[in-house]
Structure 1
Amino acid sequence: MTKRIFWCVSFVLGLTAQADQPPNILFIYLDDFGWKDTSYMGSDFYETPNIDSLANHGMIFTDAYSTSANCAPARACLLSGQYTPRHQIYNVGTRPRGNEKHRRLEHIAGTNKLGLNIITWAECLKQAGYRTGMFGKWHLGPSPKAQGFDVAVEHNKIPGMRGHKGKNGEYLTDLLTERTLDFIGEKSNKPWCAYLSHYAVHTPIQAKNKIILKYQKKGGGELHRDPVMAAMIQSVDEGVGRLVSKLKKSGQRNNTVILFYSDNGGYGPATDMAPLYGYKGNYFEGGIRVPFFVNWPNKIKGGQKTDEPIIGVDIFPTLLDLSGVNRPDQTLDGVSLKPFLLGQVQTVGPRPLFWHFPCYLQSYDVYEEQRDPLFRTRPCSVIRFGEWKLHEYFEDGALQLYNLKEDIAEQKDLAKERPAMVSRLHKMLKDWRRDTNAIVPKALNPQFDKEAEAQAIHAARLKLRPVK
């Protein structure tokens, strides 16, 4: 479909005083990076001094969420500013997941490409005069250059690279950092937006041997103990340090806003988000609550930490608002965080946050923190409103209610004790699904075998290792 014509220009380039220029934007987006995977969020093993410094001199959001518990839908929501029912990227790929005999409902395929009719924030920034670059994981089908990026270095299209390592000893995290450094160092009178979409710390878990050895000698903590994951995270952190140093040396630091974010919760077999329950692939807090902070010297007051709930669809309007660019003629589901970031308002405001996943996602070998051992999640919708969170699961109609203020680990289901709250949130969730034309699986899967499912669950639970 031909992309709609839109108008995003709202500033004039070529101003002489840097203070009057629109800000540069460095958006660091990590893959499978968990809520507790930095020192500033409480890791007892990983070392992230450069990330910590940025976070502690900016505004930290403790209740930041991805719009999805896995990669592709989270990225689609981020770039489009829309929840999953609108763009219909629900999963990574469109094939069914898990054993067909264990799936009670029909397969909802969705799509695996972000439609070219959908306007991205990169397109808005580019049309308004920004130089735009994407470095790393794209995962949305068409080339990034077709959706607003002047420069595109896709991690899976770099010759000789297998996983995180190249045939000549290159390390992907370093290579992507280098390309980003080249981009921000180019001579230009235009502001720039660099979207550094690291493949780290996604599987395969691979790191530099020298750094692995460091963490093997260090010894694990109570929460985190994987030396290869720790080494991967250190390489990301070192890259962040190099980027900040470059910005300082080139005189761009004060006019560059830096955002740090992750696409979903951490990889269950290698990290832990405790006290959160869950991990990448499910809709408990550990699967969707992620690290997020914004740093902008002399604009955003440092040393701030907030529990205001925010979500991935808020990034689109926030980027446009920070850069002074008008919104496109397109539904945006989030709100701009700019007034809150700059201290102009005291709260983002009361509003519900939504998740919709009408698909199945098969289990890891680790499955302590999910509803059953066969799937990290089965088809569901979720709403958070204030301190309350409601899960709805379509196979069995289960409604689970949690008070996150009192029970961040989602261990006490209050659905029976608080039926009025369940009804209120369920109505909000159903109304939202209606308004977004969300697809809800209803047809039964003819291949489902109740006995085979029961046997598989029993066999899995026999080898369930103790919860830490």
Structure 2
Amino acid sequence: MNWRKTGGLLLGMLVGMNVVGAANEKPNVVFFLVDDFGWGALSSMGSDFHETPNIDKLAKSGMAFSNGYAACTVCSPSRAAILTGCYPGRIRLTDWIAGHKRPYAKLKVPDWNMKIDHERILLPEALKEAGYATSFIGKWHLMPMRQKELMKDHFPEAHGFDQNIGGREWGQPKGRGLFFHPFDMPNVTSNEGDYLTDRLTDYAIEFIDQQQTNPFFLYFSYYTVHWPIMGKPELVAKYEAKLKSGKYNQNNPEYAAMVQSLDESVGRVLDKLEESGLADKTIVIFTGDNGATGSKYCGGLRGSKAYSHEGGVREPFFIKGPGIQPGTSDVPVIGTDFYPTILDLIAAPLKPEQHKDGVSLKPLLLQTGDIEERALFWHYPHYHKTKPYGAIRSGDYKLIEFFEDGKLELYNLKDDLAEESNLADRMPEKAAELLKELEQWRIRVDAQLPTPNPEYDPERGSHGV
């Protein structure tokens, strides 16, 4: 008998039991989703200017995935993928809402979906079925802004959340004070001098206080660090002074101040869990919706938000909780995986007809096994800083296909994480293999493609309206 293997299986069973506990001790779930957060914005991931002790501690106390991805290079599709467990291409919500208009571009953007259909059972709805109280705090940006008559039906409360603090159609703060009072957001009160990240954290702590005996799902979806870049004055002054003391790989005091406020927010929530005796009964997830605005925050990766390369989609991806041993994993994972993973960790039935493009990461988290090797896909049939493209990562290789002219870029991410050496011409068979797999995937999920634009004007193609 292989005692090492048998012992490992027994340990895995015991750990699994510890995750779900008794029926009346379901683990809580706290999900931190950060806006426009680059792979290199944390001090534990390469920044020598930012100070993020609380998030760094969180990363070290759970499983950190070094190949963690957002499902899109911009926000609304990535957020929808987390809540649905489906690729943006499948649900046809493929751009930030309401998207750019480029009427004279070479390709015509498809008639895409600017809302999540109510027929879908979203992650918070699945958790409500399992007896969870659900709270949404922060940025929503999943409302059909060009169909005003439908907007009232697509606030967070209409998609499984018991309460909505701050969520509306905005993709960034647009209140009279922007990141400062007044915020002009649903169910958010404030006073002179209040800072948005701090005020939303107050509501998160209040929600935890109200749920001492109930399992809960806290989905804290930050507006930070989206533009406008506005930090608290005392923190900005701190980083201005720090900048004068030496040379750093990042050099924006306002941005650093926003990152510190984010870190302090995460720390306050984690401290509240500790004080309430809930820390050992809570699954905590931390990730971002897409890359940072500006490659200096993307950890040396090529590109940033709204670009087709790694800087636009590779994200911090941390999960801690009962039975999850600290460690790292290099298995490629993506935002669609959160839905089935959370259900699996709380011992709720999976919903494979809903989270069609996600897989449970529980075996990796509990170190009881592996997940089936698979390819990851991206589909962005829109114009932004990038031109319309699709992409696939399979093993160490990543292929990008640009739809305007069929140009291919092939990279070996193991050897070339910065995507500096295009191998498409040197490895045509590999490029063709991945292109075929990408095309077949688009057929399977019925992804929309852009079409030739009869109004195409080369001189005005990059102009928006």
Flag whether TM exceeds 0.5 (same fold). Answer: yes
Q: Which residue of the partner structure matches residue 79 of structure 2?
A: 75
Indicate the SS of the match to 1:133: strand
Supply the distance in 2 between the matched residues of 1:348 and 1:27 (Cα, whole angstroms): 22
Contact (CA 8 Å) 1:94, 1:111: kept in 2 or not? no
Question: For residues 109 and 154 of structure 1, do their structure 2 counterparts lie closer, same or farther at Cα, with a shift above 3 Å needed?
Answer: farther
Q: Output one character per residue of 1:196-215: Cα deviation in whole Å (capped at 9) or x when no partner.
A: 00000001111100000000
Supply the distance in 2 between the matched residues of 1:159 and 1:412 (Cα, whole angstroms): 41
RMSD (Å) for aligned C-alpha atoms: 2.0
Q: Output one character per residue of 1:398-425: Cα deviation in whole Å (capped at 9) or x when no partner.
A: 0110000011011100011111111110
Q: Which residue of the partner structure matches residue 165 of structure 1?
A: 180
Indicate the SS of the match to 1:185: helix
Supply the distance in 2 between the matched residues of 1:132 and 1:339 (Cα, whole angstroms): 26
1:152 is aligned to 2:126: no
The number of residues matched between the two structures is 418
1:351 is aligned to 2:363: no
Aligned to 2:270, which of 236, 244, 263? 244
Aligned to 1:300, which of 324, 327, 340? 324
Q: For residues 252-271 of structure 1, what are the structure 2 equivalents within 5 Å? A: 252-268=278-294, 271=296
What is the aligned-residue identity percentage? Answer: 41
1:277 is aligned to 2:289: no
Supply the distance in 2 between the matched residues of 1:192 and 1:453 (Cα, whole angstroms): 49
Stretch moving more, 180-189 or 223-232: 180-189
The one-letter code sitting in structure 2 at the alignment partner of 1:227 is P
Question: For residues 92 and 445 of structure 1, do their structure 2 counterparts lie closer, same or farther at Cα, with a shift above 3 Å needed?
Answer: farther
Supply the distance in 2 between the matched residues of 1:20 and 1:55 (Cα, whole angstroms): 28
Question: For residues 360 and 109 of structure 1, do their structure 2 counterparts lie closer, same or farther at Cα, with a shift above 3 Å needed?
Answer: farther
Supply the distance in 1 between the matched residues of 2:350 and 2:413 (Cα, whole angstroms): 33
Once the two structures are TM-superposed, the CA of residue 155 in structure 1 deviates from its matched residue by: 4.5
Contact (CA 8 Å) 2:136, 2:163: kept in 1 or not? yes
Q: Output one character per residue of 1:37-84: Cα deviation in whole Å (capped at 9) or x when no partner.
A: 111111111000011111111111111000000110111111111011
Q: For residues 182-201 of structure 1, what are the structure 2 equivalents within 5 Å? A: 182-201=206-225
Supply the distance in 2 between the matched residues of 1:153 and 1:159 (Cα, whole angstroms): 15
Can you give the 5+ residue segments of structure 2 that lack an aligned partner in the other structure? Answer: 1-20, 144-153, 183-191
Contact (CA 8 Å) 2:70, 2:290: kept in 1 or not? yes
The one-letter code sitting in structure 2 at the alignment partner of 1:387 is D
Indicate the SS of the match to 2:391: strand
Q: Output one character per residue of 1:90-118: Cα deviation in whole Å (capped at 9) or x when no partner.
A: 112245435x44x2111224121111111
Q: Output one character per residue of 1:123-156: Cα deviation in whole Å (capped at 9) or x when no partner.
A: 0001110011010011112011111111111255
Once the two structures are TM-superposed, the CA of residue 444 in structure 1 deviates from its matched residue by: 2.7
Once the two structures are TM-superposed, the CA of residue 18 in structure 1 deviates from its matched residue by: 6.8
Indicate the SS of the match to 1:377: coil
Supply the distance in 1 between the matched residues of 2:201 and 2:454 (Cα, whole angstroms): 46
1:211 is aligned to 2:235: yes
Q: Which residue of the partner structure matches residue 364 of structure 2?
A: 340
1:437 is aligned to 2:446: yes
TM-score by length of 2: 0.86
Can you give the 5+ residue segments of structure 1 that lack an aligned partner in the other structure? Answer: 1-16, 362-375, 457-468
Once the two structures are TM-superposed, the CA of residue 250 in structure 1 deviates from its matched residue by: 0.8
Supply the distance in 2 between the matched residues of 1:262 and 1:79 (Cα, whole angstroms): 14
TM-score by length of 1: 0.85
